[in-house]
Amino acid sequence: MILSSCSKKCEHQNIIIDKGYAATCTDSGLTDGSHCKDCGEILEAQVVIEALGHKEKEAFGVAPSCTEPGLTPEIYCEVCNKILKSQEVIDPLGHHYVEDLAVSPTCTKPGLTKGSHCETCGKVFVAQEEIAMVDHKVIEDPMVAPTCTKPGLTQGSHCETCGKVLIAQEEIAPLGHKVVEDPMVAPNDLWMRSNRRFPLWGLWWGNR
């Protein structure tokens, strides 16, 4: 008996490679596969690869200032570069006014007038002006006369408000003792002086 050729099993001599393709962020892919050219039998089935999905990345935004608008960050896919979220405009912040208080002048430091500026950007709206220092309130420090043993002081002055010495007092050296010699007294003079002080005693002494 002769077998028909149609009953003969295909030996898959002519294999066709079914080329796959990679998945993308939004589209699925396929693995490589193969089939027989002669009989069409699938030798290796192609498998679907799911879409990868976007890999988000945030671009830098621009911060708004007091007078200039800003921009929100842009979000894009770092694989396919598709913009996922566009930048949006942020309104300017506007100035934040701060009052600069006046400073009274003293005898050692100048003062300042009242002013104002923006706390955020530092812009000055009303500049503070310098106020000249006030004069010292002068108090005289009286002179102290020196003595034989203690030094003295020259006249000086200081400020009653801040205590600053305006004219420093200088020390005056002690005068030292002024030696005076007592004159020598003769014995007869002493006797005469005693007689004057004690006349009765002198008479009694003379009558002896």
pLDDT tens-digit profile, the chain (208 residues): 344 445 589 999 999 999 999 999 999 999 999 999 999 999 999 999 999 999 999 999 999 999 999 999 999 999 999 999 999 999 999 999 999 999 999 999 999 999 999 999 999 999 999 999 999 999 999 999 999 999 999 999 999 999 999 999 999 999 989 888 878 766 666 555 555 554 544 444 454 4
Q: Compute the residue count for the chain.
A: 208
Q: Compute the distance between CA of residue 110 and CA of residue 113 in angstroms, rounded to an integer.
A: 10
Residue 197 CA from chain centroid, whole number:
92
pTM of the model: 0.49
Instruction: Please tell me the chain's helix, strand, coil percentages from 3-state DSSP, rounded to the nearest 5.
Output: 10, 30, 60
Helix axes 199-206, 187-197, angle to 10 degrees: 120
Task: Give the CA-trace dihedral at 75, 76, 77, 80, to 10 degrees.
Answer: 170
